[in-house]
A and B are shown apart, each in its own frame.
Chain A
Amino acid sequence: MASFASLLCAALTQAETLFDYQLQPVQVAEGTWVVPGVPEDFSRSNGGNIVNIGFIETSAGVVLIDTGPSLRYAQQLEAAVARVTSQPIVAAIITHHHPDHWFGNQHFKTLPIYALPETLGAMVNEGDNFADNLYRMSGDWMRSTEPTPANTALADNTLSIGDHTFQLIKLKGHTVADLAVLDTNTGVLFAGDLAFDQRAPTTPHADIDTWLASLDSLGDIDYRLLVPGHGQPAPDDRAIQFTRHYLLWLQNLLRQSAQVGDVPTDVINKPIPAAFQEASLVREELSRSVIHLYPGLEANTLSTHKQGGYN
């Protein structure tokens, strides 16, 4: 047992040294694969491989759903794609502007990389800040990665590539613009980060009410398999339910805490309900969400006792 543990340890150390993400595409439908990430935050051991990237083989070539967290990831993604299909990568569709989903764009910049217009704007505005953070958290895995925003704005409700037609469902709430992509050929729904499963949803750009409404919209879609941005693909709505359940808990917790006068650090340390104790990163994401969402709620509980103004 000890020798197995030390072997595993040695293997992991070697992976870090070589900056090998060890990407393993998992086929989830005909001509459709998901490259699963680990249920962790960015770190120097995972190099940012925390996200589900999808790819679809069409008659015109392979379409990527998101491009991953770094240049190295994108290079290794291309190699992983080549292991399961002889088709070249011809396009990428980006679900939203969080960096784990598009920092691989640089490697595919000669191809059309599609995103919603608001997502394009957010990539331009926030890319450098994201890069600062990712270099700090993931270290040398990020080497030579430069934020490269998508190059083609999506305006229509569908996109046809080869023999596949993708339905583009424009939603928001996790960020300013969240694109869900339904492959009408296979019924696979790539939900982006509107849906998480067994991993706490992140809220740095979230509007929870809008997000909840978007989850209702996702639930109305006729799909055969739902691929969440983080968590296991599944043929049912478990990721939608998990995300809705979590967001409702978070929203109620923050509101009730503000009402009774809790300070932010009180809220960060609130108990985690049993329903989420098996899920990843709940305490960490609660702590982050308090920073994102609590100041506004806390300010709303105060009333103006003296009107100011500067002359």
Chain B
Amino acid sequence: MTRHVATALIRLLGLVVLLGGSALARSGLERNGADPLDSPMWENMHERFLAGEDYVFDAAIEVIAPSYAEDSLNVPVAFSVSGIENIQQIAVFADLNPLPMVLRLRPVTVAPAMAFRFKLQQSSPVRVAALTDDGLWHVGSAWIDAAGGGCTAPSVGMASGNWTETFGTVNAGFFPRESGNRLKLQIMHPMDTGLAEGIPRFHIEQLQLRNLDDDSLMAELELYEPISENPLLSFDIGAVSGVALEGYDNNANTFTADLVNP
């Protein structure tokens, strides 16, 4: 009984925060409402990746993906968040993938936006869930149709045997955009899922971006098996023009590079 009262109080407080903030216009959002894509796995995803915490399906989270995965090994996705402040972390997952978790981003100074490619085993929703400091997940969704086979195929590099030649090479480019600089970075890595016979799981787990000028943290990133081979990741980094990249994979290989806008 006490717990219910406490929960009700927290929800009431949450509502007050919502009403008091910029979210007033979006107060029509239904808490813990039905999945607009009606996925049989939504509740499971909610428990596994959002810790069963409160959520709203929110159009402020824009998920852009092709409606059909022309290449199941490389499905491009971009997401962005508009009009929501104080985002603590962003989780990306695909409900019906055998390995649903794709990535987690903690955007410290970078925009709460990213682009990446991932491997999709069958048609599935892809979700982008942004946790705000009031403990509420804001969830955006897109449906991607797929012929399948993305996760159980070996990486091209592993299948051809030449992955060692470029392993760990870091390529990058800076692009001036209206909203500041866009950083595209690519780390050469097989990103094997462990689901192809005889090829163990082998993927980048953690990346950090720091400002080369003052060593301040810009973003932390967890990558999971579905991220495509030789991951190419795009970030909107504002006025920053030099980035220190650090990271490691599940075999304790480390990746470091100073990325400077020439």
Please give the distance in Å from B70's CB to the nearest CB on chain A.
Answer: 4
Partner of B186, one of A133, A266, A291, A302: A302
Partner of A306, one of B74, B163, B170: B170
What's the Cα separation between A291 and B75 when bound, in Å?
8
Residues of B within 8 A of A263 (CB): 76, 78, 115, 184, 234
CB pair A291 B66 closer than 8 Å:
yes
CB pair A305 B70 closer than 8 Å:
no
B259 to chain A: closest residue by CB: A305
A301 to chain B: closest residue by CB: B173
Q: Is B182 an interface residue (CB 8 A)?
A: yes
Cβ contacts B135-147/A at 8 Å (1 or 0 each): 0000000000001
CB pair A310 B177 closer than 8 Å:
no
Residues of A within 8 A of B188 (CB): 308
CB pair A310 B163 closer than 8 Å:
yes
Partner of A309, one of B74, B164, B259: B164
CB pair A287 B256 closer than 8 Å:
no
CB pair A261 B66 closer than 8 Å:
no
CB pair B168 A308 closer than 8 Å:
yes
B228 to chain A: closest residue by CB: A295
Number of interface residues of A (CB under 8 A): 30
For window 90-141 of A, CB contacts with B under 8 Å fall at 132-133, 136
Q: Is A307 an interface residue (CB 8 A)?
A: yes
For window 7-39 of B, CB contacts with A under 8 Å fall at none
What's the Cα separation between A260 and B181 when bound, in Å?
11
Residues of A within 8 A of B176 (CB): 261
Residues of A within 8 A of B172 (CB): 302-303, 305
Residues of B within 8 A of A302 (CB): 171-173, 184-186, 232
What's the Cα separation between A136 and B177 when bound, in Å?
41
B230 to chain A: closest residue by CB: A299
Cβ contacts A128-159/B at 8 Å (1 or 0 each): 00001100100000000000000000000000
Residues of A within 8 A of B115 (CB): 263-265
Residues of A within 8 A of B170 (CB): 304-306, 308
What's the Cα separation between A266 and B179 when bound, in Å?
15
B171 to chain A: closest residue by CB: A302
Q: Is A270 an interface residue (CB 8 A)?
A: no
CB pair B65 A310 closer than 8 Å:
no
CB pair B173 A304 closer than 8 Å:
no
What's the Cα separation between A305 and B68 when bound, in Å?
34
Q: Is B56 an interface residue (CB 8 A)?
A: no
Partner of B168, one of A132, A136, A310: A310
Given contacts A265-B78, A268-B66, A305-B259, contact A133 B147 (CB under 8 A): yes
Q: Is B166 an interface residue (CB 8 A)?
A: yes
Q: Is A245 an interface residue (CB 8 A)?
A: no
What's the Cα separation between A298 and B253 when bound, in Å?
26
Q: Is A269 an interface residue (CB 8 A)?
A: yes
CB pair A298 B184 closer than 8 Å:
yes
Given contacts A133-B147, A263-B78, A299-B232, contact A310 B169 (CB under 8 A): no
B182 to chain A: closest residue by CB: A261
A288 to chain B: closest residue by CB: B70
Number of interface residues of B (CB under 8 A): 43
**DSSP class of B's interface residues: helix, strand, loop or mixed?**
strand
What's the Cα separation between A305 and B170 when bound, in Å?
6
B175 to chain A: closest residue by CB: A261
Given contacts A301-B173, A305-B171, contact A261 B65 (CB under 8 A): no
For window 237-262 of B, CB contacts with A under 8 Å fall at 253, 255-260, 262
Select the residue from B185, B186, B260 with max chain A CB neighbours within 10 A: B186
What's the Cα separation between A299 and B68 when bound, in Å?
22
What's the Cα separation between A144 and B259 when bound, in Å?
55
Residues of A within 8 A of B164 (CB): 309-310
Cβ contacts B223-239/A at 8 Å (1 or 0 each): 00000000010100000
What's the Cα separation between A97 and B171 when bound, in Å?
36
What's the Cα separation between A197 and B182 when bound, in Å?
38
Residues of A within 8 A of B182 (CB): 261
Q: Is B213 an interface residue (CB 8 A)?
A: no
Q: Is B214 an interface residue (CB 8 A)?
A: no
Please give the distance in Å from B120's CB to the nearest CB on chain A.
Answer: 12
Given contacts A302-B186, A304-B170, A306-B256, contact A136 B76 (CB under 8 A): no
Partner of B66, one of A266, A287, A298: A287
Residues of B within 8 A of A304 (CB): 169-171
What's the Cα separation between A104 and B19 when bound, in Å?
64
For window 158-215 of B, CB contacts with A under 8 Å fall at 163-173, 175-177, 182, 184-186, 188
Given contacts A306-B168, A310-B164, contact A301 B147 (CB under 8 A): no
CB pair B77 A265 closer than 8 Å:
yes
Please give the distance in Å from A260's CB to the nearest CB on chain B.
Answer: 6
B169 to chain A: closest residue by CB: A308
CB pair A308 B167 closer than 8 Å:
yes
Residues of A within 8 A of B175 (CB): 260-261, 301
List 7 additional A-B contacts (Cβ < 8 Å) besides A261-B177, A306-B168: A264-B76, A291-B66, A305-B259, A306-B169, A306-B256, A308-B169, A309-B168
The 4 closest A-B pairs by CB, nearest first: A261-B175, A308-B168, A308-B169, A263-B115
Q: Enumerate 6 A-B pairs (CB-CB under 8 Å) in ascending A order.
A: A132-B147, A265-B64, A265-B115, A298-B232, A305-B260, A310-B253
